Amino acid sequence: MVHISRWAISRRKFQVIAGIIVVGLLISPLVFSSKKNKKLVRFGVITDVHYADREPAKDRFYNQSLDKLHEFIDKMNEEKVDFIVELGDFKDQDVVPDEVKTLKYLTTVESVFHQFNGPTYHVLGNHDMDGITKSQFLERVENTGIAKDKNYYSFNQKGVHFVVMDGNYSIDGKDYNKDNYTNVESWIPVEQIQWLKQDLKANRLPAIVFIHQLLGDSKGMKKSAQNAPEVRKILEHAGNVLCVFEGHVNSERHSKIKHIHYYSFIASVFGDGLENNSYAIVDVHSNGDLKIHGFRKASDQELVNKK
């Protein structure tokens, strides 16, 4: 296993009595407990698999992605994690796009993903719509317990609430698809923002958000959701969001805005050979600590709720 670095990240101290008030809202006693810090849930994360049966281009080794994904699945089964999630750009396409081949790449990589012995979840990335439509992608993947037509959704696992967002929209609220995904800025449309607000209000468990694009403090980067500040305000007001996990940028980036961590992972498609694979296991603890166990190029990290 190759690790890059290890560093600790502190988050603002939360009060630790049952029925605490966080940002003016009542949080379930399950959120944080000072008496006994126990592991609530453990899940596996991989991002930017970019599978296509094509030759490498620069540092993207598309035709090695299945082997890298197999390694991830084998490790997650061995570790018996509660679920796995991929953070977008699951598949790719040929240099000269061919819809039939692109759909085949998607069904092939999905068949490997479902060798995991447990729940599986997908986050939509921009390249998931290159050569096909969003609906074509959704029809061919399975998010456990979620309706096929849902591109953003939420679920609970062992006392933690998980939110999957879709940043693949243009400024006018239109879906990314095979005709417009290239160089389109990412936006979270009004309808999804309203859904997010209501979803977090209705679920007072500690929450973790998954999205492909960046929501953190990225200073107008093209790889960010362009209305990220508006979305962050909702997350901050909710009071129970621990962290936002992101893909898209092929680097381990961290920012802490108000009381929320924003963390991105390294893409698995980059680099020749399994030694350049990248994936992680995340442990969520009852006191709000998040521990990331990195494999291959991913590093171990601690996102700590300091007492």
Looking at the DSSP assignment, which residues form a beta bridge with residue 284? 41, 290
Domain 7-305 sits in CATH 3.10.180.10: no
Rounded distance, CA 134 to CA 143, Å?
Answer: 15
Within 141-232, strands assigned E span 153-157, 160-164, 207-211
Tokens of 299: 């590093």
Under 8 Å between Cβ of 191 and 173: yes
* 60 DSSP 8-state letter: B
Distance between CA atoms of residues 213 and 167, nearest Å = 6
Contact 243, 260 (CB under 8 A): yes
Contact present, 201 and 213 (Cβ < 8 Å):
no
- At 229 the three-state DSSP class reads helix
Cα distance between the two ends of the chain: 31
**Sequence spans of domains, the chain:** 7-305
DSSP 157-213: ETTEEEEE----B-TTSPBP-TTT-TTPPB---HHHHHHHHHHHHH--S-EEEEESS
- pTM of the predicted model as reported, rounded to 2 decimal places: 0.88
Per-residue pLDDT of the chain (307 residues; tens, 9 = 90+): 433 333 333 333 333 323 333 333 334 444 444 457 899 999 999 999 999 999 999 999 999 999 999 999 999 999 999 999 999 999 999 999 999 999 999 999 999 999 999 999 999 999 999 999 999 999 999 999 999 999 999 999 999 999 999 999 999 999 988 887 666 789 999 999 999 999 999 998 999 999 999 999 766 577 899 999 999 999 999 999 999 999 999 999 998 999 999 999 999 999 999 999 999 999 999 999 999 999 999 999 999 876 4
The CA distance from 189 to 106, in Å, is 26
Q: Give one DSSP letter per residue of 29-56, joined into a string.
A: TTS--SS---EEEEEEEE----B-SS--
* CA–CA separation, 287 and 300 (whole Å): 19
Separation of alpha carbons 113 and 105, rounded Å = 12
